[in-house]
Chain A
Amino acid sequence: MKRSHEPIFWSLFGAGGVLSALVAPILIFITGIIAPIGVWMPPQALDYSRVLGFAQHWFGKVLLLAVISLFLFHAVHRIYHGLHDIGVHAGTGAMVAAYGSALLGTLVAAYLLLAIGF
C-alpha cells in the first residue's frame, strides 16, 4: 500500500491550529489594531530597535519562525481541503502549490531571521 503524506501535513496543520488558537487573536489585535491606532499600546512598543532586538535574539527567532511557518501550514491545509467544498476539485498541482507556498514562506522567514543577525 502506498504510504500517505497526510500525517505530516496533518501534524503541521494541528500544530498551527494550536498555536494560532493560543496567540493569533492577540497578535492580530496588537499588531493590526491597538498598536496602529495607539490605544492600549504605546507607539514605542513596536519601535524599530525594539523589534530588531527581538528578531536578533535566538528565542525571538524561534517564536517568529514558529508563528509564520505554522500559521502558513495550518492555513494552506484548510484552504486546500476547502477547495472541494466550494466546488473546485483540485488535483496534485493545487496540493503542491498549497504546501509548497507554506514551505517557501518558511524558508524565506528562516533566511531573513539568519540575515538579520544575532
Chain B
Amino acid sequence: MIVGERKHFIEIAEMLKGYGKVLVVGCGTCVKVCFAGGDKEVALLASQLKIAAKRKKQKLTVTEITVERQCEPEFIEELAPLAADHDVILSMACGAGVQFLAERFPDKIVLPAVNTSHLGVLEKQGVFGERCLGCGDCLIGRFGGVCPVTRCSKSLLNGPCGGSKDGKCEIDPDVKCAWQLIYDRLKTIGQLDNLKAVEQPKKWSTARDGGPRKTVLEDHTI
C-alpha cells in the first residue's frame, strides 16, 4: 500500500491560517489502512481544528468527508457539491490524491495534510516498512524476492558494501542489510549462483528519472 503519515498539527494550522471554511477530505483506501488519512483521522483532525479555533476565538467552519479513493474521478465527484461552499480543501490522501483534487477543482486552494512516505507493507501492528520504489523495471526475481534497489541504502546491485555488519546496514542498527537478506534467501532456495554474474547498470529510464510516467492500457481505454 501507499504509506503516509499525517503532518504535525502545527504545520497544518499554519497552512490554514486566514481561511474560514475548510473541507477536510479523507481517503478510504491506502492511507486509511495506515492510520494517516481515513475517516477516523478526518474526524480527529476536524476536532483538533475546531478546538484550536475556539481557543483562539476564531470563526472556523470545518466539514468532514471521506471518499473511497481520491485517485479516481468517480469518487472525487462526490465532493463537487461541497467544494463550491468552502475556501480550502484539505486533502488527507497521498500526494496523488491531493493533486487529483487540485486538477478537478482548479479554482480551489487544495492543501495536503499527509506526508506520503513510501510503498510498504504492514510489518507488524503499527509498523510499516518500505518495500518498493516503483522503478518500473522489477528485478526482484533475481534477488530471492528482496529488492536491492529499495532496501539497500545505496541501491547496490552487485552485493553489499563494506558497511554490512551482523546483518545490519551501516546507516542505522535498526535497518537490516538488504544484501544479507538477499544472501540468506538465495542460500535457502539454492540460488546463490545468481550472485556470481555482474549485474549491469540499471535502466533508470523506466523510473521517475525518465520523466513523469504514464501507464496506458490500450484494451481498457474508451
Is the pairing of A and B real? Answer: no
- Residues of A bordering B, CB below 8 Å: none
